[in-house]
Amino acid sequence: MNIEAVVSPRGMLLPRAGTAIARNVKGDEDMPKILVVEDEDALSVMLRYNLEAEGYAVETVANGDEADLRLRETTPDLVLLDWMLPGLSGIEICRRLRGRAETERLPIIMMTARGEETERIRGLATGADDYVVKPFSVPELMARVRAILRRAKPETVTTQLRAGDIELDRETHRVRRGGRELHLGPTEYRLLEFLMKTPGRVYSREQLLDGVWGRDVYVDERTVDVHVGRLRKAINRAKDKDPIRTVRGAGYAFDEKFQLKQAG
């Protein structure tokens, strides 16, 4: 499926027909598999889009009974499980997964709506590894997914991003260029990490605000330009090629040709 992101009124990244998402370089078999069980269409689509951009293989199911069946046929590496579902409830699915030897230790993140606070506690008691309360921040959820997968299946999580002579370690937050350590501010680091994950993909300022700053933060779009300027200053020395592309009228991208230019 070819999709491109647009920002929903709620400020989340949503896909739209158009351009392809850059895939992780690893083959599909190596990608961690995530099952999303969510009956709210818009949320399900948004989760799929963001998880695929992180390099996961994603399957979505919108009904509790269907999820139960699917989980008997195949075991993913992680389940994102909504609480309130048509058919079996999230909590019942969680209880069943914990009751079977094959899925006893399967990582589960529950998604609950506000006002289900006491239910959250029940969710954890039933054996979920973590929970998020809707509406949640996408970068925050992605960080939790990564943290849980790293604990459960360390070999499946990519911690090093590499392009040309730039290396970014997502575990230690260290960035090097040509072996030289770069000192980035926290925002510049997140911006570089965000852009490097999908080389070639152009993000609007609004999408960068959502993906890097988070959707609950209200800052002016000009802020993005300021931080891109700081990022460039921190990573480029006099004769270095600039890996960040400014796309007029659209936004910014990590130049997918950067790797080739460096090699040549």
For Ca ion, the binding residues (CB under 5 A) are 39, 82, 84
Can you read off the two tokens belonging to residue 23?
A: 């895939």
Closest CB to Ca ion among residues 51, 208: 51
Min dist CB 22 to Ca ion, Å, is 30
Question: What's the sign of the alpha-carbon dihedral 114, 115, 121, 124?
Answer: negative
CB of 94 to Ca ion, least distance (A): 14
CB of 111 to Ca ion, least distance (A): 8
Residues 6+ apart with CB under 8 A from 165: 177, 178, 262
Report residue 2 as tokens: 């070819």
Q: What's the min distance (Å) between Cβ of 40 and Ca ion? A: 6
Upper half-sphere CA count for residue 167 (Cβ side, 13 Å): 13
**In the complex, minimum distance from the CB of residue 119 to Ca ion, in angstroms, rounded to a whole number:** 12
Rama region for 164: left / alpha / beta (φ>0; ψ in -120 to 50; rest): left
Nearer to Ca ion, 4 or 39 (CB): 39
What does the block give as tokens for 177?
A: 């260029």
> Looking at beta carbons only, is 52 or 82 nearer to Ca ion?
82
**Is residue 2 a contact partner of residue 19, using CB atoms and an 8 Å limit?**
yes
Residue whose Cβ sits closest to Ca ion: 84
Enter the tokens of residue 68.
């139960």
Do residues 44 and 34 touch, judged by C-beta distance below 8 A? no
Shortest distance, position 110 Cβ to Ca ion, whole Å = 11
Contact of 60 with 50, CB cutoff 8 Å: no
Closer residue to Ca ion, CB minimum distance, 112 or 207: 112
- Residue 39 or 256: the one with the smaller Cβ distance to Ca ion is 39
Considering the complex, state which of residue 78 and residue 110 has its C-beta at the smaller distance from Ca ion: 110
